């Protein structure tokens, strides 16, 4: 699926806007965040407003619940004490305080992190903050904590920037027309809608601009949580080695071509200051 809806190239800093709001809230973690070196990304797609965020999040909760139930029935859901799950949850705890500045709704999200036993190299964060990693991505790529944080930051960024919401608005829209879509939604047929989009959430393929957006926003979130920005580059080098654009799961939807790595290399220096300051606070 290609995205022809370009995000604004205006270097709007959502962070700066978010920072002012957060400064008012005086959350310790955010209040300490300096205004420097943040990545420049455009506004989130206006198309997403055609699909109610709450409906997408409800659909995600259902879909996530089904996925976990399926894994549990096969004995593939990691128990609470699994060391890799404990490690992932520790990473999430460090990243989450830096998320709401990208999307106000995230303050109310009930974040969840689970680990599923599977050889697939895969990880995702569904709308509303429902995260899952497959053991394959940790084991086959031998991810360090910094690299795992980059994967998680990237996936969180897809949710925070509501890429699924705009993808679904677009895919529904191409079938029935956007004005009709909003009428349908206004008429209260949201139950059908949730059932319909729920299954799409796990198979969505984002556009290249969504991917770049998630790379950069994720990079900044991870840097603010004191994860080494250089790990974004080594992560994608490992991905490239593991099969580039081929194979199932993450690699098929996340081509790790040279463009991606160059783009990250260019942005690493922009968040180094944030990383160093976050490190000094730890």
Active-site residue list:
155
Which chain residues interact with Zn ion by CB under 5 A?
A: 211, 214
Comparing CA positions, the residue from 83, 81, 162, 153 lying closest to residue 123 is 153
CA distance 254 to 76: 24
**Nearer to Zn ion among residue 19 and residue 146 (C-beta):** 146
- The token duo for 21 is 């709001």
CA distance to 27, 50, 192, per residue, from 176 (Å): 44, 13, 15
Shortest distance in whole angstroms from residue 245 CB to Zn ion: 13
- Residue 100 or residue 204: which is nearer to Zn ion going by CB? 204
The owner of tokens 């799961």 is 249
Nearer to Zn ion, 161 or 270 (CB): 161
What is the rounded CA–CA span in Å between residue 137 and residue 222?
A: 18
- Shortest distance in whole angstroms from residue 254 CB to Zn ion: 5
Q: How many residues does the chain have?
A: 282
CB of 134 to Zn ion, least distance (A): 15
Q: Which residue is nearest to Zn ion (CB)?
A: 214
Which value, in Å, is the radius of gyration of the alpha carbons in the chain? 18
Q: Which is nearer to Zn ion, 214 or 274 (CB)?
A: 214
* Min dist. Cβ of residue 233 to Zn ion (A): 16
Q: Count the Cβ atoms, other than its own, within 10 Å of residue 122.
A: 22
């Amino acid at each position: 699926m290609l995205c022809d809806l370009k995000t604004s190239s205006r270097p709007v800093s959502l962070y700066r806007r978010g920072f002012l709001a957060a400064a008012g809230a005086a959350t310790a973690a955010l209040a300490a965040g300096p205004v420097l070196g943040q990545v420049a990304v455009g506004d989130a797609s206006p198309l997403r407003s055609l699909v109610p965020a709450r409906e997408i999040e409800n659909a995600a909760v259902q879909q996530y619940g089904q996925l976990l139930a399926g894994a549990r029935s096969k004995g593939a859901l990691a128990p609470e004490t699994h060391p890799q799950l404990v490690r992932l949850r520790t990473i999430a705890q460090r990243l989450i305080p830096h998320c709401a500045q990208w999307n106000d709704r995230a303050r109310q999200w009930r974040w969840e992190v689970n680990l599923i036993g599977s050889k697939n190299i895969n990880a995702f964060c569904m709308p509303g903050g429902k995260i899952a990693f497959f053991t394959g991505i940790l084991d086959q790529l031998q991810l360090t904590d910094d690299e795992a944080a980059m994967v998680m930051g990237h996936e969180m960024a897809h949710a925070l920037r509501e890429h699924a919401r705009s993808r679904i608005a677009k895919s529904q829209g191409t079938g029935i027309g956007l004005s009709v879509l909003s009428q349908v939604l206004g008429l209260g047929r949201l139950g059908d809608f949730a059932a319909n989009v729920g299954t799409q959430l796990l198979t969505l393929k984002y556009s290249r601009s969504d991917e770049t957006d998630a790379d950069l926003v994720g990079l900044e979130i991870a840097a603010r949580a004191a994860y080494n920005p250089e790990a974004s580059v080594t992560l994608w080098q490992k991905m490239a080695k593991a099969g580039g654009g081929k194979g199932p799961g993450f690699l098929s939807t996340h081509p790790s071509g040279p463009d991606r790595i160059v783009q990250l290399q260019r942005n690493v220096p922009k968040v180094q200051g944030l990383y160093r300051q976050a490190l000094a606070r730890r």
